[in-house]
Amino acid sequence: MQKIYFDNAATTPLDPAVVKAMANHMLSNFGNPSSSHGFGRKAKAELETIRKKIALYFNCSPSEVVFTAGGSEADNMVLYNAVKELGVKRIISSPLEHHAVLHTIEALGREFDIEIVYLSVDSHGEIDYTELESLLDTGKTKTLVSLMLVNNELGNILDASRVSAVCKKTNSLFHSDTVQGIGHVPIDLKEVPIDFIAASAHKFHGPKGVGFAIINKAHKFEPMLHGGEQEMGLRAGTENTHSIVGLSKALSMALDHFEEDKKYILELKQYFIQKLNANIPGIKYNGWSADRDKSAFHILNVRFPKEMPMLLFNLDLKGIAASGGSACQSGSSKGSHVLGAILNEKDAKLTSVRFSFSKFNNKEEADQVIEALVSMLDK
């Protein structure tokens, strides 16, 4: 049975070139970057070369790049420091954020005397930008705005320029969970100033357990992990150098080949949409996921015309990997907080599935998935 992986928003397969780069590093450059001898200096030199390379990609200073264990740690680092060190008294976010942000905000609300405001969202998952502007217009309370660049379930793309402009105008801080956006949406921190962003390598064909935060150097942070002065004193612990090498290789490939990969994956996504429309009457799409311009090119969130609680399970039996969204979906005990926030009661009961694509997928796989779906809907 052929395996088909259409769950690239959850994690991506490692690119063979990334595996090779990591293996070479582990064999030839195993020193501790904090050691003063030649082995350590060699490892440190490679680490700092990668830091400079990442800074060049995002148009920021190398000293603003802090390596982490992934996007969740980066988000936590930013949000906790914003409250504890920067004096933030109000956080404005949305109910559609990743739990790395939502749960952290909730924890901060329990621990500190801060105000938490969630913006209104419409049936497409679009935030109310006018509401955001009105909330920030007063400028009386030190505020952090935390809004993700690309929604991990819907693929909706934030108008980061608009958010950045209003934050700058009102002297508010802007944090964006860019984990799903890096490699899928261009990010230039000089063109669109964002104070804090987060990245995770496994979203763009790199290894799991490694990522980075970019922290505007105008803001002074304190470490959450103590015990060493690594990462400019912001994160204790010996750097995961071979994974950082993998991150660097994967990021370079994603950004250097961005246009060709976007063209290929977008064509595959549009082909899949056409096949769904032609073969499944009543098919709908959640959020802006089917829109070429308003959604990331790799994510499609499909709402089927009936309740199919075993759909994901049955797809898995056929070797097809995807992610579920509706509350009754097999394997999802709580359901999707994103779909719950934007769908009416009737539509929320229907089965929704997120399909997400990468450069390693093809139209033949799409045809097989459509064939499987049609056979299941006909039962």
**HEC per residue, 54-97:** HHHHHCCCHHHEEEECCHHHHHHHHHHHHHHCCCCCEEEECCCC
Q: Decide if pLDDT at 325 tops 70.
A: no
Q: For strands 320-321 and 299-303, give the pairing.
A: unpaired
State the angle between helix axes of 241-256 and 38-58 in degrees (0 to 180), rounded to the nearest 10: 30
CA distances from 242 to 5, 17, 45, 74, 208 (A): 26, 13, 13, 19, 12
Among residues 297, 207, 299, the alpha carbon closest in space to that of 261 is found at: 297
Q: Decide if pLDDT at 331 tops 50.
A: no
* Mean per-residue pLDDT of the chain: 94
Q: Which residues face 199 on adjacent strands?
A: 212
The DSSP letter of residue 7 is B
Same fold across 4-12+257-377 and 16-256: no
Report pLDDT for 324: 80
With beta carbons less than 8 A apart as the criterion, state whether 217 and 242 touch: no
Q: Decide if pLDDT at 225 tops 90.
A: no
208-233 mean pLDDT = 94
131-160 mean pLDDT = 94
Q: Decide if pLDDT at 187 tops 70.
A: yes
- The active-site residue out of 165, 328, 376, 377 is 328
Q: Which amino acid is at 363?
A: K
Q: Find the helix or strand (DSSP H, E) in which 292 lies.
A: none
- Reported as a pLDDT band with limits 50, 70 and 90, residue 330 is very low
Report pLDDT for 327: 36
Domain boundaries 4-12+257-377, corresponding CATH code: 3.90.1150.10
Q: How far apart are CA 172 and CA 91, in angstroms?
A: 10
110-135 mean pLDDT = 96
332-354 mean pLDDT = 88
Task: For 162-184, write each residue's pLDDT tens digit.
Answer: 999 999 999 999 999 999 999 99
What are the phi and psi torsion angles at 98 (to 5°)?
Answer: -65, 150
Torsion angle (degrees, nearest 10) of CA 306, 310, 316, 322: 50
Report pLDDT for 335: 82
Q: State both tokens at 81.
A: 């420091």
Task: For 55-76, write each residue's pLDDT tens digit.
Answer: 999 999 999 999 999 999 999 9
Domain boundaries, the chain: 4-12+257-377, 16-256
Total residues belonging to the chain? 379
Q: State both tokens at 39.
A: 């082995």
The DSSP letter of residue 204 is T
Active-site residue flag, 328 = yes
Q: Decide if pLDDT at 269 tops 50.
A: yes
**Is the CATH code 3.40.640.10 the one for domain 16-256?**
yes
Torsion angle (degrees, nearest 10) of CA 132, 292, 59, 29: 120
With beta carbons less than 8 A apart as the criterion, state whether 95 and 341 touch: yes
Q: Decide if pLDDT at 361 tops 80.
A: yes
- Reported as a pLDDT band with limits 50, 70 and 90, residue 2 is confident
**Straight-line distance from the first to the last Cα atom of the chain, in angstroms, rounded to the nearest whole number:** 21
Q: Which amino acid is at 199?
A: A
106-113 mean pLDDT = 95
Report pLDDT for 1: 66
193-209 mean pLDDT = 98
With beta carbons less than 8 A apart as the criterion, state whether 69 and 210 touch: yes
Q: Find the helix or strand (DSSP H, E) in which 144 lies.
A: strand 143-146
Q: State both tokens at 246.
A: 């993998």
